[in-house]
Amino acid sequence: MPERFTHDFAPIGKEPARPSRERAAPAYGRPWARRKTDAKTEAAEATEAKEDLQENTCWYADASAPMMRSMSYMLLILEEPGQRAQRTKAEGEAVYARMLRFRDELRARDQLLAVESLATRDARAARVQRRGGRPLVQDGPFSEAKEMVGGFFLLSCQTREEALAIAQECPAAEWATVEVRETAPCYD
């Protein structure tokens, strides 16, 4: 079951609580799995969701006591297509082992929210769009791609500078580009 992360707040200068893990609703994206509810339950859930959003949004109580939350940043590992195929199996395993050690270091520092390496098999990838109410699916491989997303690290950091420092520690920066992106709502 997927997990979602919420962030706690702390006054500037104090250590914020680390992200807490809550189980996400298992029915996401599966309308047949959604439970039936009455209007009263739906209203209570909507109120709870609104309160949750307010609790997990950076609000300033007053100018004398600003609040700050831990930010999430994503490190995207951008590789040249075919780069992995040029390595021997031993070289690939050594590179992967370095990335696993980096992952473990971030976990030990309690800065890692999620991490994943992505497969290079473009033939199994697909791009999905919906235009005019109709889904369009384009199967790979994608010959026009100049780079591929080889993996990602989702971090919990206080500042952009901290995320940049972590990106500089990433072993993948030696053979790929590590792009640092702050997470934000899609309307920002």
Any idea which of 43-47, 48-52, 92-96, 108-112 has the lowest mean pLDDT? 48-52
Any idea which of 1-5, 134-138, 139-143 has the lowest mean pLDDT? 1-5
Give domain status of residue 188, yes or no. no
pLDDT of residue 32: 38
pLDDT of residue 71: 85
Q: Could you give the CA distance from residue 148 to residue 80 in angstroms, rounded to a whole number?
A: 6
Q: Check whether residue 168 and residue 117 sit in a common domain.
A: yes
- Condensed to tens digits (0 to 9), the pLDDT of residues 99-137 reads 999 999 999 999 999 999 998 877 788 889 999 999 999
Any idea which of 23-27, 116-120, 168-172 has the lowest mean pLDDT? 23-27
Dihedral of CA atoms 160, 163, 169, 173 in degrees, nearest 10, equals -80
pLDDT of residue 5: 41
Q: Check whether residue 63 and residue 74 sit in a common domain.
A: no
Q: Check whether residue 50 and residue 125 sit in a common domain.
A: no
Q: Check whether residue 166 and residue 93 sit in a common domain.
A: yes
More confident: 58 or 165: 165
Domain boundary among 44, 67, 90: 67
**The tokens 């297509």 sit on which residue?**
81
Q: Check whether residue 114 and residue 165 sit in a common domain.
A: yes
- Condensed to tens digits (0 to 9), the pLDDT of residues 77-109 reads 999 988 899 999 999 999 999 999 999 999 999
Cα 43 to Cα 26, 40, 46, 48, 123, distances in angstroms: 20, 5, 5, 9, 45
User: How many distinct structural domains can be found in the chain?
Assistant: 2
- Rounded to 5 degrees, what are φ and ψ at 20? -100, 150
pLDDT of residue 51: 55
Give domain status of residue 59, yes or no. yes
Q: What is the CATH number of the domain that holds 105?
A: 3.30.70.1060
Domain boundary among 67, 92, 118: 67
Q: Check whether residue 84 and residue 116 sit in a common domain.
A: yes
Tokens standing for 64?
């004398």
Which residue range is the domain that position 104 belongs to? 70-182
